């Protein structure tokens, strides 16, 4: 089997300040990788390098493209990366406002992604948007409302529908449940877990919340000061952490 994503020697600094350093990992089709670590450990830097939002200083991000097989997305043309971002990749931001168009209706937010990959038939686009709103538990009757009329949890569910409607194979998520009330978080996590499992999606999820990775991630990378200090199966890492920093991270959660 070909890995969906292979990351080799990825580093990114901000001037002399390190963002992430010499990161290596492989993501297999259908696998969910969690990235945890304290604030400033380099999680977002890594995620943004993987998703093509930031150019790494060194390293490769090899993605198994549909048409041409494994390609290094760092060196591919910007137009090719943009096409991947519209088709095979999805990016769920922590703040739904960063991933939605607030002046466009809920249905329009979902339909727009379909139009960006060539869909033109209004009836089909509307039907698919309605179907996806249903899958993220948004009443079809609210399709013509703008997202700002929605609660935070609904906005996040809408952002997920907008991202998944084009059938991406890899989803990047940056603190997808951050900033939401605990009960809203639980519902969203449940929904995400159902979608990931049902659709066989691959994902890279950045979070500082170990409960999120426990529920969603098959494997886990623990970051500190830009380095990956521990990696393994999620349950193994959380139940039997080897690195002192992971031990601290796990025990500090247990004390909460
Ligand atoms: N645009 C930037 N300019 C300069 N330094 C930056 C920039 N973005 C991040 N950094 C630094 O790079 C390091 C890694 O930051 P990063 O945001 O990737 O960490 P993080 O683990 O995602 O943190 P958080 O959980 O707070 O988002 C930090 O020391 C941060 O201060």
Predicted local distance difference test score (pLDDT) of residue 101: 95
Residue 230 pLDDT more than 50? Answer: yes
Tell the residue nearest (CA) to atom 31 of ligand 1: 40
Domains of the chain: 5-88+170-255 (3.40.50.300), 100-167 (no CATH)
Confidence at residue 256, expressed as pLDDT on a 0 to 100 scale: 41
Which residues 6+ apart lie within 8 Å of 240 measured at CB? none
Question: pLDDT tens digit string along 7-25?
Answer: 999 999 999 999 999 999 9
Parallel, antiparallel, or unpaired for β 227-233 and 219-224? antiparallel
pLDDT digits (tens, 9 = 90+) for 21-80: 999 999 999 999 999 998 999 999 999 999 999 999 999 999 999 989 999 999 999 999
**Confidence check: pLDDT of 255 > 70:** no
Residues with CB under 6 Å of ligand 1 are 14, 17, 19, 37, 39-45, 208
Instruction: Return the closest-CA partner of residue 189 out of 98, 53, 203.
Output: 203
Higher-confidence residue of 240 and 122: namely 240
CA distances from 50 to 43, 62, 79, 96, 122 (A): 11, 9, 16, 20, 34
Distance (Å) of CA 201 to CA 27, 194, 235: 11, 10, 20
Q: 147 C-alpha to center of ligand 1: Å?
A: 29
Cα–Cα dist 203/147, whole Å: 25
Q: How far apart are the CA of 140 and the centre of ligand 1, in A?
A: 39
Show the beta-strand stretches assigned E in 155-241: 170-174, 202-206, 219-224, 227-233
Pocket test for ligand 1, best of 16, 18, 19 (most atoms within 8 A of CB): 19
Q: Alpha-carbon Rg of the chain, whole angstroms? A: 18
CB 166 within 8 A of CB 117: yes
Q: Phi first, then psi: give them for residue 252, nearest 5 degrees.
A: -70, -30
Strand-pairing partners, residue 95, are none
Q: Which residue has a Cα nearest atom 6 of ligand 1? A: 14
The pLDDT of residue 8: 98
Cα–Cα dist 197/216, whole Å = 9
3-state secondary structure of 187: helix
Interatomic CA distance for residues 83 and 89, integer angstroms = 9
- The string of pLDDT tens digits covering residues 188-205 is 999 999 999 999 999 999
Six-digit token pair at 221? 């990378």
Q: What separation in Å is there between the alpha carbon of 213 and the centre of ligand 1?
A: 21
pTM value? 0.94
Cα–Cα distance measured from residue 97 to residue 89, given in angstroms and rounded to the nearest whole number: 19
Q: Which pLDDT value is given to residue 119?
A: 84
């Amino acid at each position: 089997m070909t890995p969906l994503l292979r990351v080799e020697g990825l580093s990114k600094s901000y001037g002399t300040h390190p963002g992430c350093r010499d990161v290596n990992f492989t993501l297999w089709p259908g696998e969910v990788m969690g990235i945890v670590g304290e604030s400033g450990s380099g999680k977002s830097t890594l995620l943004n390098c993987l998703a093509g939002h930031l150019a790494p200083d060194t390293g490769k991000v090899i993605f198994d493209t549909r048409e041409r097989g494994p390609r290094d997305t760092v060196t591919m043309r910007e137009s090719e990366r943009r096409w991947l971002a519209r088709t095979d990749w999805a990016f769920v931001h922590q703040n739904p406002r960063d991933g939605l168009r607030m002046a466009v209706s809920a249905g329009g937010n979902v339909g727009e992604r379909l139009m960006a990959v060539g869909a033109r038939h209004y009836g089909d686009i509307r039907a698919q948007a309605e179907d996806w709103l249903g899958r993220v538990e948004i009443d079809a009757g609210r399709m013509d409302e703008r997202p700002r009329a929605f609660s935070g949890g609904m906005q996040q569910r809408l952002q997920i529908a907008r991202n998944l409607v084009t059938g991406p194979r890899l989803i990047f998520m940056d603190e997808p449940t951050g900033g939401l009330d605990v009960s809203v978080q639980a519902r969203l996590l449940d929904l995400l877990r159902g979608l990931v499992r049902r659709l066989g999606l691959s994902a890279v999820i950045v979070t500082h919340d170990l409960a999120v990775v426990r529920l969603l991630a098959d494997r886990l990378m623990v970051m500190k000061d830009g380095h990956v200090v521990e990696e393994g199966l999620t349950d193994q890492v959380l139940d039997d952490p080897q690195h002192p920093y992971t031990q601290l991270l796990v025990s500090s959660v247990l004390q909460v």
